[in-house]
Structure 1
Amino acid sequence: MLYFSRWKAILIWLATALSILVAIPNFLPKATLDALPSWVPKKTMTLGLDLQGGSHIMLKLERGDIVKERMQTALDDVRTNLRKAGIGYTGLNGSGQKLTFKLRDVTQIDAARDALKDLTALVSLGGLSGGSIQEATLSNTDDGAFELDLTDQGINYRVQSAVSQSIEVVRRRVDELGTTEPLIQRQGSDRIIVQVPGLDDPQRLKAILNQTAKLTFHLVDNSMPAVDAVNGRPPANSEVVYSNDDPPVPYLIQKTAILSGENLVDAQPGFNQQNSEPIVSFRFDSAGAQKFGRVTQEHVGEPFAVILDNQVITAPVINEPILGGQGQISGNFTVESANDLAVLLRAGALPATLTVVEERTVGPGLGADSIRAGFIAGVIGLIAVIAFMTFFYGTLGMIANLAMIINVLMIIAILSLLGATLTLPGIAGIVLTIGQAVDSNVLFYERFREEVKAGRSIPQAMEAGFNKAFGTIIDANLTTLIAAVILFYMGSGPVRGFAITLSIGIITTVFTAYTVSRLMIAIWMRRTRPKALPKGVRTGFFDFAQIRFMAIRNYTFAISAALTIGAIAGFATLGLNLGIDFTGGSIIELKAKQGDANIGDIRERLGTLNLGGLQVQGFGEPSNVLVRVQSQEAGENAEQSAVNKIRGELSEQYEFRRVEVVGPSVSGELAMTGIIGVGLSLIAIMGYIWVRFEWQFAIGAIIATLHDLLLTIGLFVFTGLEFDITSIAAVLTIVGYSLNDTVVVYDRLRENLRRYKKMPLPLLIDTSINSTLSRTILTSVTTMIAILALVVFGGDVIRGFTISMLFGVVVGTFSSIYIAAPVLILFKLRPDTFDKDKDNKATAEIQSPAV
C-alpha cells in the first residue's frame, strides 16, 4: 500500500537520518572529526591497502621444518631411552617421517618396546573438543629391526600448534614496528596473512617476518683451526658455522648451546660507549643469568659465539665473568638493523621458517592516486546518472535520484558500522550500484505508466505498479546477490571488498526502492494530487515500439554462434593473457623519480639479472613503467629473490609504487578457486531460476549466460587484456547482471503467457520484450554510464576490470533479447501449461489506496 502510518514514516526517515549521520564522518578531515562531541559517530570505513598504501603478505609455515625438528627429537629420545635401559642398538637413522634401528641382542625386543612406549603414547589435544592423537607408531620384526613412523596426524597437529605460536610471534614483531591497525590472521592450516596499512618500508617488514630469530650462545672450539675443520673433519661434538660478514668467516663451535633465546627477558638497541657503534643490549631471566654467569666464570679468556638463525653475529672473548645476567651483542650493525634485531629477540623465535608465498604492496603515492581516481569516477558517474534520470522522468526521476543518493550513503554507513575495508574494486562496486540502483525505480515507473494507460487512476496505477514490479525487482536482484555472495566466499583481498560493497548495495537498493522511494512518492502524491502522468516523463516514445525481434532470431543466432565459436577457437589457440594470480610471478609498477622512464634502459639492465621471461612496458603516464617477471622455477623464495634483485638494480632511479608477487602454490589455488566460484554461481543461479520459472526458462538462462561468458572470454583473448583474479569478479558480475536483465524479460513473458494463451509464442515474446524495452534500455544505459566513468577516470589499475564489465553489460542486454527469449521457442514452451487463475489474480482490480 502507498499509505504509510505515522510510525512507519518516522522509522523510515529515522533510518535515513542515521545512515547520513554514520556516513558523514567518512567525508570529514580527521581534525574536524576529533573536534566533534564524543556522542557523534566517528567510525569510518577502513581503507584497503590499494587506497592508503601498505603491504599484504601471505606467509606459509614450512612443514618440512616441523618434520625435521620432530625427527631430530625422535632420534634423541630413542637414543636416550635405549641407553637408559641399557639396550644396545646399531644403525639408528632417520629419513622423512621414518626412523629405523636394529637391536644388537634380539632377546631385548620386549625391553626396547617398553623403553620406547612414551614415544607412541596418545597425546591429548586439549581445548573444548578434547580427544587425543598418536604422534608416532612403533613396529618391529623378529630379527630386532625397529621402525618408528611419525604419523601425518601428529605432524598436522604440530603444524597447527606452530602456526598458532607463529601468529603470536608475528603479532609481537609487527606491533614492535609501531604500525597502526595491522591485521594478522590464520588462513587454512599452514598459512598466516599479515596486512599492514600505511607501511613505507615493506622490505623491512618482510625481513623481520622471514627470520626465525633462533638465538643461541655457544662456546668456540679452539681444538683446531676453523679452516682445517672446513677442509677436513671437525670434532664429533663441534660443527662449523659461518658469520654474517661479507665474505662469511667460518667458526668452529661446540654443538651444545650454553643458553638459548628462551632465557631472554628483554633486548634493546643502544650504542657502545667507547666507539658509539650500534649494539643490542640483552637481559636474561634469573635461571639464564645464573647459568651464563657460571659458564663465563669457567671460561674466562675463551671466545664464545652468539648465533642467530645459524649465523654467527659476533664471537667476543670472555674477558671477565658476566654475573649480572646482562650483556650486549655487537657486530656490523646499523641503527635500523640493531633495532630490528632487538625487535626479533623481544618477540621471540618462530617455531619454523615462514616463507612469503604472496605479496601485494602498494606505495602511499599510488594509494592516494587511486583514491582520487575512484572519487572522481564515482562523482562523474553519479552526476551523469542523475542527469539522465532527471531528463527522462522529471519529478519522478529526481525522487529516484534522491533515493539513489540515500542508497549510497546507506552503503557507506553499513560499511563503516561493520568496519569493512573499502578497496578500489569496492569503489567500483559502489559505482556499479549507482548504475543499477535506478533499475528498481525504472521498473516501477514503467509499470506505473502501463497502468495509467490501461485506464487506472493515478493512486491505483501507483499501487498496482509497485505490486507488479516488486516481484521482478526481487528476482532480478537476487540473481546478482547470489553471484556476489559466492564471490565473497571464494574470493580474497580486493575481490572480497568488491563482493561486500556489491552485496550491501543490492540489499540497500531493494530497501530504498520499497520504503524510501514509495514514501517520497506517497508524500508527493498527497501534496500535488496529480490527475495525470507527470509531464516530465519522456519515455512514452517506447510505447510505439513494435519491433519484430523474433523475426530475425535465426540471423542473430548465427551471428552469436559465429562469435562464440570464434571466442572458443581464440581461447584454444591464442589463450588468455593470464596474470600472475594464475601463473605465479611478479608485477612491479615503477615511477621515475625524475623525468620520463627509460624503458629501453630498464629492459637492458634487467636482462642481465637472469630472471627468465621478463616484460617491460609503459603504463599510464610516461614516467610509469610496468615490469612483469615470469614465475621462477626454484621455489617460493625465488620469487622474492627476483624482486630483491630488481630493487637493487633500479631503486635509485625509480620509485616502487606497487609490487605483487604470487608464488606457484598460491597461483594454482587461485585458479582452481576461480573456476569453482564461477561454476557454483552458475549452478546456484540456475537452480533459483528453475524454481521460480519453468525448466525451459532455466535452460534459456543457462545458454544466454554461457553465451555472455564465452564472448567475455573472447574479449580477453583478442584484446590481450590481462586475466587476473579481479577478472573473475568481473565475470561473476556479468553473470549476475545478464541474469538480472533476463529475469525481467522472463517475468513479463510469464505474465503474458498466462494472459494470452492463444497468441503465437514468437509474437508473445516480441510483445513481452517491447513492453520491457524502456526498462531494458534505460537501465542498461545508466549502468553503462556509471561503468564508463570508471573506465575513463578510474585509473589504469582496474581498467581491464571495468572494460570487461562494460562489455558484459552490452552482451548481457543483447543476450536477454536475442538468446534467452528465442531459446524458449526452440524448446517449445507451451502457453497452455500456465494456470489461468494465476492470471486472474495478477490482473485483479486494486482498490484506490489512501495516500
Structure 2
Amino acid sequence: MSDTELNESTSAPNKAASGRKSIANRLYTGDISLNIVGLRKRWYVMSGIIIAIALAALVFRGLALGIEFSGGADFQAPTRVTTQTVDEMRAAVQGSGLPDLGDTTVTTMGDNTVRIQTRTLDPQTEVPVMREVIAEQVGVDPDQVAYSLIGASWGKQITQQGLIALGVFLVLVMLLIWVYFRDLKMSIAAIVALLHDLVLTIGIYALIGFTFTPATLIGMLTILGYSLYDTVVVFDKVRENVRGLHDQRRSTYAALANKAVNQVLIRSINTTIIGVLPVAALLVAGWLYLGTGPLKDLGLVLFVGMIAGAYSSVLIATPLLVDMKMREPEIREHTEAVERGTSGVATRRSGRREPVEVPTDPVEDSVVEPADDDASDDLETEPAAPRITTSTAQQWPTIPADRQQPRRQTRSERKK
C-alpha cells in the first residue's frame, strides 16, 4: 500500500468522526460559531422594542393588583368541592346585583372550603348581600360564611416593603458579583439583565390582564434567581477565556467573549427547555382548567421569566459587558493590535508584498583601483577585482573604518 493510500485510509475515520460531532461539541470547540456579540446592536434594538411595548402596557392598561396589594373583601365558606364549584360560585356572585364584581377571584382551599375575593364592599349594605348569596349557593347559614376586610393602606404597606426588599436584593447581588468576579462591569451588566427580565415580565402581566398576586411576587423572585444563575455561568466562561488576554495577539476580547457564549449556548437552551416544560403544564392547568388561583399566576410569571432570563443572559448581559470593556484603553489598544496583525496576515496570504526600501551604499558601481600608478607595472598578474554594486554590496561583510587595511607590495619590495 502506498503512502497516499495509507494517508487516505487513516484520514477517512477522522473525517467521519468529525462529521458525527454534535452541535454542542462543535460550538464548544469553535468548529462553528454564531456571531452573537458582533450583532449586539440588533439585540439591543429588539430588546428596546419589547421593553417599550411592556412599558406602554403598564402605562395605558395598568397592572391589576390583587386584594392583598389594593385591598378588598375576602369570604370563605364550607362546602364540598367539586369540579363545578368555582364556576358555579363565580356565576352566583356576579349575579348578585352588586356592581363592579367582574374581577372577583374564586378559589378552593382543600376539598371542603371555597374562597371568594372581591373589591372592597360596604360593611352595612353590600357585605350582608354577598353573605346571603354565598350561603345560598353552598347551602349553609349566612353566619357560617367568614368575612375579612383587607384595607388599602395595608396593601400599600405590603407593596412598599416588597419594593424595598427588591432593591436590597439587587444591591446585594451587584456586590456579590463584583466581589466574585472582581469586575464592576460584570455586576452592572448582570443587574441590567435582571431589570430587563423584571420589566418584561410585569409588562406581559399588564398586557394580558392577569392579576398580580403574592404568588406572582414569589414567582418573580424565583425567576430573578434563575436569570442570575444563567448570567453567572456565562460570565464565568468569559473570565476563563479572557485569562491571559494581553499575552497573545490572536483574539480580541469580543471574540473570546463570543466564544464563551457559544460554548454555553446549548447548555442554556437545554436548561431552559427542561425548566419551561413543567412550568408550561402548570400554566395550562391553572389557566384552562382551574380558571383562577395561584397556579395560573405562578405559572405565567415562571414561564415568561425563565424564557426572558435565558434570552437576557446570552443576548443582553454579555454583549453589554463587551461594550463596556471596549471603553477601557488597554482593551481598545489590544483590539487594535490584534486587528493590525490580522490585516498583515491577510495581506501576506493574498500575495501582495509591501515595498522594501534598499539602503544606498557609498561604493555603488565602483571598482577597486591599484595602490599607486608607478607601481602598477611591477604588480604580478592577479585576477581582476570583482565589481561591487548595490545588490552585491549587502553580501560583503562591513569593515570598520578605524581598522588598518593591508597595502599591496610591489615585486621590488618583496625581493628586498
The answer to whether 1:615 aligns with 2:102 is yes
2:201 is equivalent to residue 704 of structure 1 = no
SS at match of 1:551: coil
Correspondence 1:669-680 to 2 at 5 A: 669-680=157-168
Distance 1:538 1:564 in 2: 32
Q: Deviations over 1:355-388 (max 9, x none)?
A: xxxxxxxxxxxxxxxxxxxxxxxxxxxxxxxxxx
Match of 1:646 in 2: 130
Distance 2:162 2:139 in 1: 32
Q: Which amino acid aligns with 1:662?
A: I
List gaps (5 residues or longer) in structure 1: 1-534, 834-851
- Is 1:604 the counterpart of 2:95 in the alignment? yes
5 Å matches for 1:776-815? 776-793=268-285, 796-797=292-293, 798-815=295-312
CA distance in 2, matches of 1:541, 1:718: 40
Alpha-carbon distance between aligned partners in 1 of 2:161 and 2:179, rounded to the nearest angstrom: 27
| Equivalent position SS for 1:613 | coil
Note the aligned Cα RMSD (angstroms).
3.6
Who is 1:145 aligned against?
A: none
- Deviations 1:427-473 (Å, cap 9, x if unpaired)? xxxxxxxxxxxxxxxxxxxxxxxxxxxxxxxxxxxxxxxxxxxxxxx
The answer for the alignment partner of 2:216 in structure 1 is 727
Matches within 5 A, 1:360-371: none
Contact 1:617/1:627 (<8 A) preserved: yes
- Residues 825 and 593 from structure 1, CA distance in 2 versus in 1: closer, same or farther, beyond 3 angstroms? closer
C-alpha distance in structure 2 between counterparts of 1:615 and 1:627, whole Å: 12
State the distance in 2 between where 1:589 and 1:653 align.
12
Q: Give, in angstroms, the shift of residue 825 of structure 1.
A: 2.4
CA 1:812–1:641: 2 relative to 1, 3 Å: farther
CA distance, structure 1, for counterparts of residue 202 and residue 32 of structure 2: 33
Letter aligned with residue 137 of structure 2: Q
Q: Tell me the alpha carbon deviations over residues 623-647 of structure 1, each in whole angstroms, 9 at most, x when there is no partner.
A: x998542224x7xxx4x98555412
Question: Displacement, 1:619?
Answer: 6.4
The whole-number CA distance in structure 1 between the counterparts of 2:280 and 2:260 is 29
Distance in 2 separating the partners of 1:718 and 1:662: 26
Superposed displacement of residue 783, structure 1 = 1.5
**CA drift at 1:559:** 1.1
Distance 1:551-1:727 versus aligned 2 partners, 3 A rule: same
Structure 1: distance between partners of 2:101 and 2:253: 57
| Aligned residue in 1 for 2:40 | 553
Tell me what 1:668 maps to: 156
Aligned length: 287
CA separation of 1:644/1:708 partners in 2, compared to 1, >3 Å: closer, same or farther? same
Q: Give deviations 1:299-334, integer Å, cap 9, x for gaps.
A: xxxxxxxxxxxxxxxxxxxxxxxxxxxxxxxxxxxx
- SS of 1:568's equivalent in the other structure is helix
SS state at 2:96 partner: helix
Q: Structure 2 vs 1, CA of residues 671 and 597 (structure 1 numbering), >3 Å: closer, same or farther?
A: same
Greater strand share, 1 or 2?
1
Amino acid across the alignment from 1:701: A
Aligned to 2:260: 768
Deviations 1:108-157 (A, max 9, x none): xxxxxxxxxxxxxxxxxxxxxxxxxxxxxxxxxxxxxxxxxxxxxxxxxx
- Alignment match, 1:682: 170
Task: Give the AA of the match of 2:222.
Answer: T
Tell me if structure 2 keeps the 8 A contact 1:753–1:831.
Answer: no
Is 1:571 the counterpart of 2:68 in the alignment? no
Cα gap change, 1:598/1:671 in structure 2, threshold over 3 Å: closer, same or farther?
Answer: closer
Superposed counterparts of 1:383-422, under 5 Å: none
1:651 aligns to what SS in structure 2? helix
Matched with 2:371 is: none
Aligned letter for 2:138?
Answer: Y
Q: What secondary structure sits across from 2:39 in the alignment? A: helix
Partner letter of residue 573 of structure 1? F
1:702 maps to amino acid: I
SS at match of 2:38: helix
TM-score for both structures, normalised by structure 1: 0.31
Higher helix share: 2
- Per the TM alignment, residue 760 of structure 1 is displaced from its structure 2 partner at its CA by 1.9
Q: Residue 586 of structure 1: which of 52, 56, 73 is its match? A: 73
What secondary structure sits across from 2:88 in the alignment? coil
Q: What is the CA-CA distance between 1:658 and the residue it aligns to? A: 9.9
TM-score, normalised to structure 2's length? 0.60
Q: 8 Å contact 2:285–2:296 — kept in the other structure? A: no
State the Cα distance separating 1:620 from its structure 2 match: 8.9
Residue matched to 1:752: 241
Unaligned runs of 5+ in 2: 1-19, 332-416
Partners of 2:54 and 2:67 in 1: CA distance: 22
Structure 1's 643 and 539: CA in aligned 2 closer, same or farther, altered over 3 A?
farther
Q: CA deviation digits over 1:173-228, x for unaligned, max 9?
A: xxxxxxxxxxxxxxxxxxxxxxxxxxxxxxxxxxxxxxxxxxxxxxxxxxxxxxxx
Shift of 1:551: 2.6
Look up the match of 1:824: 321
Shift of the 772–616 alpha-carbon distance from structure 1 to 2, 3 Å rule, reads closer
Q: Tell me the CA shift for residue 556 of structure 1.
A: 1.1
Q: CA deviation at 1:539?
A: 5.3
Distance 1:780 1:699 in 2: 23
Q: Secondary structure at the match of 1:549?
A: coil
**Match for residue 692 of structure 1?**
180
1:739 and 2:228 aligned: yes
- Is contact 2:104-2:119 (8 Å) kept? no
* Distance in 2 between residues matched to 1:655 and 1:806, nearest whole Å: 39
Superposed displacement of residue 542, structure 1: 4.8
Q: Equivalent residues in 2 for 1:280-359 (5 A)?
A: none
Identity %, equivalent residues = 29
Find the aligned partners of 2:278 and 2:154 in 1 and give their Cα distance: 34
Q: Displacement, 1:573?
A: 2.2
- 1:222-264 residue CA offsets vs partner (Å, 9 max, x unmatched): xxxxxxxxxxxxxxxxxxxxxxxxxxxxxxxxxxxxxxxxxxx
Mapped partners of 1:678, 1:766: distance in 2: 31
8 A Cα contact 2:90 2:106, kept in partner: no
Return closer, same or farther for 1:778/1:831 CA change in 2, 3 Å cut-off.
farther
**Which structure has the larger Rg?**
2
1:615 match: secondary structure: coil
> What's the CA shift string for 1:702-726, capped at 9, x where partnerless?
1111111110111111011111222
C-alpha contact 2:24 2:263 (8 A) present in aligned 1: no
**SS of aligned partner of 2:325:** coil
Higher relative contact order (CA 8 A, sep 6+): 2
Residue 804 of structure 1 and its aligned partner are, at CA, apart by 0.8
Mapping 1:175-194, distance limit 5 Å:
none
Task: Provide the rounded CA distance (Å) in 2 between the counterparts of 1:562 and 1:818.
Answer: 14
Aligned AA for 1:649?
A: V
Give the distance between the partners of 1:660 and 1:552, measured in 2 at CA.
Answer: 55
Distance 2:75 2:59 in 1: 29
Counterpart contact for 2:104–2:118, Cα < 8 Å: no
Contact kept, 8 Å, 2:62 with 2:206, in 1: the verdict is: yes
Task: Name the CA distance, whole Å, in 1 between partners of 2:268 and 2:84.
Answer: 50
> In the alignment, is the contact (CA less than 8 A) between 1:618 and 1:625 conserved in 2?
no
Report the alpha carbon displacement of residue 761 of structure 1 after superposing the two structures with TM.
Answer: 2.5
Within the candidate set 554, 562, 576, 2:49 is matched to: 562
Superposed displacement of residue 691, structure 1: 1.3
Decide whether the 8 Å contact of 2:234 with 2:261 is kept in 1. yes
- Structure 2 letter corresponding to 1:789: A
